[in-house]
Amino acid sequence: MGDQRYFEYDEQAIAYLKARDERLAEAIDAIGPVRREVTPDLFAALVNCIVGQQISTKAQVTIWKRLTGAFGDITPEAMAACPDDELQQFGLSFRKVGYIKGAAERVVAGELDLKGLADLPDEEVCRRLSALPGIGVWTAEMLMTFSMQRPDIMSYGDLAILRGLRMLHHHRRITPELFAKYRRRYSPYGSVASLYLWEIAGGAVPGLRDWAPKGGGAKRPRPGGAKGGSRGD
């Protein structure tokens, strides 16, 4: 599968974000560089997202190792050709097998050109990915971040990003309008801002707390996976 790779960003992105947001600048200085793994193979990343839905990280890793051990590279052709019951033997539910096969068959049939997505704007990429069975908007945005490495993705459907914003800016609630303000502020480096907001949400900056009313906060989801943080995926 090759050497592990990490989300790439440069000093220009950091300088821009620090100039746009004083509180974020302090958090960036406190946290330092963020290394988040990426999976450049979009189809493999998509399958891994489906595998991880509604199960623990440990279980996801176990099933993924079984799949890669059996198939090597996870390709649309291999997944489309594999009988449903064989895929289920790796620990996949009937529904997840359907999602994986459905995506694979669309790619093999030419209905979805994964390589061609690179030439499309974010909104269209999100629309096409989220049209796949089992892939909602939040999962599409995670794929755009952690596989395609799109530079300007901030997901309103990610509970940890909302938590990070509340902690950083002392908001009780992040409304869609407030989120849009921050998204504009951090653009065109929304993905890098997201990396730091996830770190903040996870407690990387001592002294920051969640300002949501008691009972109104959410458990931190696992960003980059296919569960926990989505709204409707």
CB 225 within 8 A of CB 189: no
134-184 pLDDT tens trace: 999 999 999 999 999 999 999 999 999 999 999 999 999 999 999 999 999
Q: Kindly report the average pLDDT of the chain as a whole number.
A: 92
184 and 123 together in one domain: no
31 and 77 together in one domain: no
DSSP bridge pairs for 37: 6
180-191 pLDDT tens trace: 999 999 999 999
84 and 102 together in one domain: yes
56-66 pLDDT tens trace: 999 999 999 99
CB 96 within 8 A of CB 50: yes
Domain at 217, CATH number: 1.10.1670.40
Give the pLDDT band of residue 222 (cuts 50, 70, 90): low
Give the pLDDT band of residue 4 (cuts 50, 70, 90): confident
Give the domain range for residue 118.
38-146
Q: For position 205, what pLDDT does the model report?
A: 97
CA dist 187 and 54 (Å) reads 31
77-104 pLDDT tens trace: 999 999 999 999 999 999 999 999 999 9
CB 156 within 8 A of CB 138: no
Q: Determine phi and psi for 222, rounding to 5 degrees.
A: -95, 100
